[in-house]
Amino acid sequence: QTVVTQEPSLTVSPGGTVTLTCASSTGAVTSGYYPNWFQQKPGQAPRALIYSTSNKNSWIPARFSGSLLGGKAALTLSGVQPEDEAEYYCLLYFGGVWVFGGGTKLTVL
C-alpha cells in the first residue's frame, strides 16, 4: 500500500517562512505525481491551493508556492499570516489512483 507522508505539525511565527513537505513511500516525488496541496480549516471542505507541483489559481495569495525539493513535493508559505493557521494536505497521483498525505497542522504563534 502506497503511503504519502507529511510532517504531523509545524509552528511558525507571523511573518515567517515555513516549508511543508510531502514524501512518497515509492521513492522520489516528481512532476509526474502531479502534487496538489489543500488547506482545510475546521468545519470546512478542503480548499485547493496548488496543483501540478506549482500551479495555483488566481485568487490564491502570492505567499503560497509549490515546488519539488529533495525528492519531495513542497509547499512554502512566505510572510505567514495568522489566517494561515490550518491543516494542510498533499495529494499525489500514482498512475490511476490518488493518495492523500496525513496532513500537517500548521500553527501560527
What is the DSSP code string of 6-65?
Answer: E-SEEEE-TT-EEEEEEEETTB---GGG--EEEEE-TTS--EEEEBTTTB--TTS-TTEE
- Nearer CB in complex with another protein: 54/78: 54
Q: Which of 12, 20, 66, 89 binds another protein (CB under 8 A)?
A: 89
Map the footprint of another protein across residues 50-69, applying CB under 8 A.
51-52, 55, 57
CB 56 within 8 A of CB 63: no
Residue 79 binds another protein (CB under 8 A): no
Q: What x/- string results for residues 3 through 42 when contact with another protein is judged by CB under 8 A?
A: -------------------------------x-x-x----
Dihedral angle sign, alpha carbons of residues 42, 46, 50, 53: positive
Q: Footprint of another protein on this chain (CB under 8 A)?
A: 1, 34, 36, 38, 45-46, 48, 51-52, 55, 57, 89, 91, 93, 96-100, 102-103
